[in-house]
Amino acid sequence: MTHSSTTESTCIVWFRRDLRVNDNPALVAAIERGGPVLPVFLYAPEEEGDWAPGGAARWWLHHALTSLSRALDELGLPLVIRRGPSLDALRELVAETGAGAVFWNRRYEPAIVARDTTIKQTLKEDGLDAWSGNAALIWEPHQVRNQQGRPFRVFTPFWKHLRTQAPSPPVVLPELAAKAPDEAPRSLALDALGLLPERDWDAGFPQRWTPTLDGAGEALEAFLDGPVARYAERRDCPGASGTSRLSPFLAHGQLGPRQVWAAAHSTGAADGKGGYTFLKELAWREFAHHLLVHFPQTPTEPLNDAYRHFPWEPDEAALAAWQRGRTGYPIVDAGMRELWRTGWMHNRVRMVVASLLVKHLLQPWQEGARWFWDTLVDADLANNTLGWQWSAGCGADAAPYFRIFNPMLQGEKFDPDGAYVRRWVPELADLPDRHIHTPWAAPDAVLRKAGVRLGETYPRPVIEHAAGRRRALAALQENKERQRQPGD
Active site residues: 281, 284, 312, 347, 365, 388
Three-state DSSP state, 454: strand
Which of 392, 373, 385, 350 lies closest to 108, judged by CA? 385
Distance CA 405, CA 182 (A): 61
Burial class (CB within 10 angstroms; exposed 0-12, middle 13-18, buried 19+) of 393? buried
- The H-or-E segment that residue 12 falls in is strand 11-15
Distance CA 253, CA 280 (A): 19
- DSSP annotation of 36: B
In the chain, the N- to C-terminal Cα span, in Å, equals 53
Distance CA 353, CA 324 (A): 12
Distance CA 475, CA 453 (A): 33
**Cβ contact 479:310 at 8 Å:** yes
Distance CA 477, CA 306 (A): 12
